[in-house]
């Protein structure tokens, strides 16, 4: 068994069919998924009233993940330890998570300062969301954590705007993420050819 296999196995209940180890004692994946959704939904409502204050850095992102998932998973607030991909889209390797997050969050702060119009903010948020999703720092709950992180960013740093994720079509968002993966790869290929 490889180290990668051992790392993957550490996330799952022994003998289960891919049920994540959890603090709830649940051994059925569908039941865990439903309970997780219920708990995280309540936590997100709490964060609307009392956001986690921070510097919009790696610690802030991890603190949000920990808050959302600490009642469910023992790995809440910690970076993943395994390679992950979605379909044919591969995310940042484990050894580069910390460095990639630093880069994305540094660029996020620089680009935010350059925003002047509604279109600038929209482009900035779409690019930041897809960049953070590509890093995929956590084993579970990346999308929800990143959406809350950006909601809090808008609330604190972009006056007169509100980021309402309920108005975003989930399928369109997933397609946008897929396209951003492809676009980056295409641009790197084109750049390499020149």
Buried/exposed code over 160-175 (b: 16+ C-beta within 10 A; e: otherwise): eeebeeeeeeeeebee
Q: Are 158 and 121 in contact (CB under 8 A)?
A: yes
Q: What predicted TM-score, i.e. pTM, was given to this entire model?
A: 0.86
Tokens of 184: 């980056």
Q: pLDDT by residue (tens digit) across 78-115?
A: 999 998 876 556 688 999 999 999 999 999 999 999 99
User: Any residues with CB less than 8 A from the CB of 162 and at least 6 apart, and which?
Assistant: 154, 155
Superfamily of domain 50-193: Fido-like domain (1.10.3290.10)
Q: Is the model's pLDDT at 164 over the cut of 90?
A: no
User: Any residues with CB less than 8 A from the CB of 151 and at least 6 apart, and which?
Assistant: 163, 165
pLDDT band at 179 (very low <50, low <70, confident <90, very high): low
Q: Is the model's pLDDT at 141 over the cut of 50?
A: yes
Scan for tokens 């309920």, then name that residue. Answer: 166
Q: Are 68 and 145 in contact (CB under 8 A)?
A: yes
| pLDDT in the model for residue 89 | 62
| pLDDT in the model for residue 79 | 97
Q: Is the model's pLDDT at 189 over the cut of 50?
A: no
Separation of alpha carbons 2 and 16, rounded Å: 20
pLDDT band at 17 (very low <50, low <70, confident <90, very high): confident
Domain ranges of the chain: 50-193
């Amino acid at each position: 068994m490889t180290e990668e296999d051992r790392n993957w196995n550490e996330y799952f209940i022994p003998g289960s069919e891919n049920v994540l180890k959890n603090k709830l004692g649940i051994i059925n994946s569908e039941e865990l998924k439903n309970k997780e959704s219920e708990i995280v939904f309540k936590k997100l409502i709490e964060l609307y009233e009392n956001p986690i204050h921070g510097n919009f850095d790696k610690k802030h992102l991890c603190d949000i993940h920990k808050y959302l998932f600490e009642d469910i998973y023992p790995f809440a607030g910690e970076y993943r330890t395994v390679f992950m991909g979605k379909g044919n889209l591969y995310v940042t390797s484990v050894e580069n998570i910390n460095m990639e997050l630093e880069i994305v969050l540094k660029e996020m702060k620089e680009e935010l300062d350059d925003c002047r119009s509604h279109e600038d903010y929209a482009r900035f948020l779409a690019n930041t969301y897809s960049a953070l999703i590509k890093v995929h720092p956590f084993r579970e709950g990346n999308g929800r954590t990143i959406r809350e992180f950006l909601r809090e960013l808008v609330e604190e740093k972009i006056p007169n705007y509100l980021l309402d994720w309920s108005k975003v079509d989930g399928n369109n968002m997933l397609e946008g993420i897929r396209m951003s993966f492809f676009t980056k790869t295409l641009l790197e290929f084109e750049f390499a050819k020149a």
